[in-house]
Amino acid sequence: MDPGISSGGAGLEQIQNTFEGLAYVDQVSGEIKPGQAEKWTISPDGLTYTFNLRSGLKWSDGQALKASDFEYAWKRATDPTTKSRYAQTLWPVKGAEAFGTGKGTAEGMAAKATDDKTFVVTLERPAPFFMHLVATWTAYPVRKDMIEKAADKWTLGPDTYISNGHYRLVEWKPEQSMTVEKNPNYWGENNGPDTVVWTLLDDQAAKSPVAYEAGELDRAVLVGADITRARNDATLSKEVKKFERQGSQWIILDTTSPPLNNLKVRQALSLATNAKQLNEVVLKDAYFNAVSIVAPGVPGQKKENALGYDSAKAKQLMTEAGYPDGKGWPANVKFTFVGDLAQDKAIAEAVQGMWKSTLGIDIVLDPMEAKAFDQWRSSRKTAPFGFYMNGWGSDYEDPNNWYNLLFHSKADFYYSHWKNAEFDGLLDNGLKENDATKRKGLYENADKILNTEAPYITVYHWARFDLIKPYIDGLYHFRVLGRVQAYLVRVKK
Amino acid sequence: MTVYVFRRLLWMVPSLFIVFTLTFLVVHATPGSPWDEREKPLSEAVKANLNKQYHLDDPLPKQYFDYLGNVLHGDLGPSYRSVERSVSEIIAATLPVSVQLGVASLLFAIVVGVPLGALAAVKHNTWIDYTASLVTVTGIATPAFVRVSLLIVVLSLGLALLPTGGWEGIFDVRAIIPILAIGSGPAAILARYTRSSLLEVLGQDYIRTAHAKGVRPNAVVAAHAMKNALIPVVTVAGVTLGNVITGAFFVERIYGVPGIGRQFIDSVTGRDYTLLLGTVMVFALLIMVVNLLTDISYGYLDPRIRYR
């Protein structure tokens, strides 16, 4: 519930409904729109951002909101002792990384309120995606006096949880419910419902459909077998809604360990993976069919770059790589996944079968408990492996959030150990390029290299299913982050 | 008696210490960390900072003694999952809910189980006895999480009599399903023990004497037989409290009751080390106290038992 600390998991929807940053992402077009800032200017070198706040901005308790509130919030989120789960958001700001890693100070972080309505930020180096970070929850303003008064407990009640967004907190009963009402001090319009109540369930997917069918909820979350059940139900099938989530689920390959260090082997495995069948048959259309490594919609991603599915070509490549019909394939290539996740298990088993029937190879399935898997995965940075399953979803719709953050050899977020100098070079240039079209072109070239080199095999793109009562309009999940914005919702009842 | 109770209380200290140490070791030997990476991984820099800020990168013996010191000063530490509440605060908020639910469930078990068992014993080898056996064996054989799911399907979704989940205090209708789900297991166990124990007592000489004196049959059972028949039942009632607690773990989670059992499960799966240790200590203490109360109650029920 603390914008400065949240990693964007549970609680983000409530944070986004109660707070607002200098700018926000339009939940239909995906464009950056002015929020608390009326306008901003960017210096020609792309380094200095000057934000002009709207006049008469107020917190939900009526107190004036000043540029210094942003300075406080940004420095607080970066301060390592705040224990933010998302501190790196603001690291492009000059001095922020040093401060965040204990080598610098708050004063050294170039985010300053020069007067009550002006907030000036200087970056370490140009970052064409910076406005997306400005719109992130980590960059929301928070109330210094409340945090100093109540410390970590400021989020617990309406007296201290003072916000600046469309709604304000009425009551939070931990693990039970949260109620918000319209914030009368919000600068803009709010034609959403007057009050919103979230029933807080620790296992939403299991419990919300039950409560929904009993008429206790207007919206429920659907996953797995419930999706099929709802689709086959006469009444519920009309209330099922499928939304795109800009994310990819992958099989990640260790590109430095044999036999996966062989490019032809990786390409063969990718070509032998029937993604259409994985989603439509194995997972009963609970996701979207895989298109390419990066999720559709991210600038740079091009479906033409993907290898696709071609079993004949896959066989041929495997033969060329020295494993005709799987002969000579090593016995102990492991595929690691979280055994408790039904869909991961189903994918692993299906892929094992596909590769066996198409390429004649045997792989060993290696299911793990969720937390054991996290630890095993973290240690892959320096250790070899075969395959494992994991995924990524956009925090913001910019190539930086995928290519540079995940696939650049310096980042290697998923430890595929894949390195390509040309690819890295394109990405480095992408960070410096301020012309959107040219920048997109650089990433499209990089995307081609990434897909051809096949360090990842996409099994599906993420989706989100809801049950929504027919009298609710405008309840919508945007493809990025996709939390429900109550001010867009209309209740016809 | 006082000396006995005092000695038992004193023994709890090393017992708790052993529970604490074993739990600490097991928890830290289990792979994984408290940071949530279910959907996608956290960055290494963030994890490194969190481990540093929460002292999870200290050597294990240092962590152990630091934490032990804090616990001895009454500080159970921060919860890794919820920044806004400490472990002590979470326990203070959730334990009363579970205690209310547990006491109500145990009362339900006694009120239903003991008379049912007595009835089966008095009418033994009749259709009443057989029906009671069928009900109780089913109750014992069905885990609490199955019972609560069945109750939700039947009472909430089928008959639309009760909400599908939630908690508004013990006197709200939302308490009915969890009480039935948790209480019916121990009720079945109590019924079985009451039946067999009462049957044994009913065969004894002093019962025949009571009948011979002309005491009414109902009074013989109620006044003469029940008192002795209840001694093993009290023992079992104490033990079933363990059953009530473990049953509550899953019932609380499935029915959305903000109790401590749910915190316990979530702390295990989420590797919330401090919260897990805190809840384990609470459960250990609870079970020790209940065992002590059970032992003390024998003295009142059976004058032959003496405490040394």
Query: Predicted confidence band at A292 (pLDDT cuts at 50, 70, 90)?
Result: very high
| Domain annotation covers residue B45 | no
H helices, E strands: number in chain A: 14, 17
Nearest to A2 among B50, B83, B85 (CB): B83
Q: Cβ of A210 and B38 within 8 Å?
A: no
Task: For residue B128, give the CATH number of its domain.
Answer: 1.10.3720.10
Q: How far apart are CA A25 and CA A35, in angstroms?
A: 9
Of A80, A86, A374, the CB nearest to B33: A374
Tens of pLDDT along chain B (308 residues) come to 788 888 888 999 999 999 999 999 998 888 888 887 777 778 888 888 888 888 888 899 999 999 999 888 888 888 888 888 899 999 999 999 988 998 899 899 989 998 898 889 888 889 988 988 888 888 888 888 899 999 999 999 899 899 998 888 889 999 999 999 999 888 998 898 889 888 888 888 888 888 888 888 888 888 788 878 888 788 787 777 766 876 788 899 889 899 888 888 888 888 888 999 999 998 888 888 888 888 887 777 777 777 66
Residues of A in contact with B253 (CB under 8 A): 202-203
* Residue given tokens 């007067």 in the structure block: A115
Find the residue in A nearest to B51 (Cα): A83
Residue with tokens 């540029």: A67
Kindly provide the ipTM of the predicted complex, given to two decimals.
0.81
Domain assignment present for B270: no
Which residues sit opposite A477 in a β-bridge?
A: none
Q: For residue B174, is it within any domain?
A: yes
Within a domain: B308: no
- The predicted model gives A238-266 an average pLDDT of 95
Could you tell me the residue range of the domain that residue B174 belongs to?
99-258
**From its phi and psi, is residue A282 left (phi > 0), alpha (psi between -120 and 50) or beta?**
alpha
User: How many Cα atoms are found within 13 Å in the side-chain-facing hemisphere of B17?
Assistant: 8
**CATH 3.90.76.10 in chain A, residue ranges:** 12-150
Contact check, Cβ <8 Å, B40/A199: no
Whether residue A228 contacts residue A459, with contact meaning beta carbons closer than 8 Å, is answered with no
* Burial (Cβ within 10 Å: 0-12, 13-18, ≥19) of residue B308: exposed
The answer to whether position B41 is within a domain reads no
CA angle, A176 then A180 then A181, to 5°: 150
Judge: A210–B46 Cβ closer than 8 Å, yes or no. Answer: no
The domain total for chain B is 1
The pTM of the full predicted model, rounded to 2 decimals, is 0.87
The answer to whether A211 and A226 have CB atoms below 8 angstroms apart is no
Dihedral in degrees, nearest 10, Cα atoms A405, A407, A413, A417: -150
- Is the Cβ–Cβ distance between A369 and A339 less than 8 Å? yes
CATH number of A244-463: 3.90.580.10, 3.30.565.10, 3.40.1410.10, 3.10.105.10?
Answer: 3.10.105.10
What pairing do the DSSP bridges indicate for beta strands A37-42 and A472-473? unpaired
In a domain, B10, yes or no: no
Are A83 and B266 inside 8 Å of each other by CB? Answer: no
Contact A181, A205 (CB under 8 A): no
Is residue B40 less than 8 Å (CB to CB) from chain A? yes
Q: Give Dmax over CA atoms of chain B in angstroms.
A: 85
> Where do you find CATH 3.10.105.10 in chain A?
244-463
β partners of residue A390: A250
- What is the band of A224 on the pLDDT scale with cuts at 50, 70, 90? confident
Min Cα separation B25/chain A (Å):
16
* CATH fold group of domain A12-150: Dipeptide-binding Protein; domain 1 (3.90.76)
Give the residue from B50, B84, B252, B268 with the most A CB atoms within 10 Å of its CB, the best one to mutate: B84
- Has residue B199 been placed in a domain? yes
Amino acid making up residue B82: S
Phi, psi of A170, deg, nearest 5: -105, -50
In a domain, B293, yes or no: no
Please name the residue of chain B whose CA is at the shortest distance from the CA of residue A1. B84
Which residue reads 């998302």 in tokens?
A: A86
- b/e per residue A395-415 (b: at least 16 CB within 10 A): bbbbbbbbbbbbbbeeebbbb
| Whole-number pLDDT of residue B199 | 87
Alpha-carbon gap, residue A465 to A204, rounded angstroms: 12
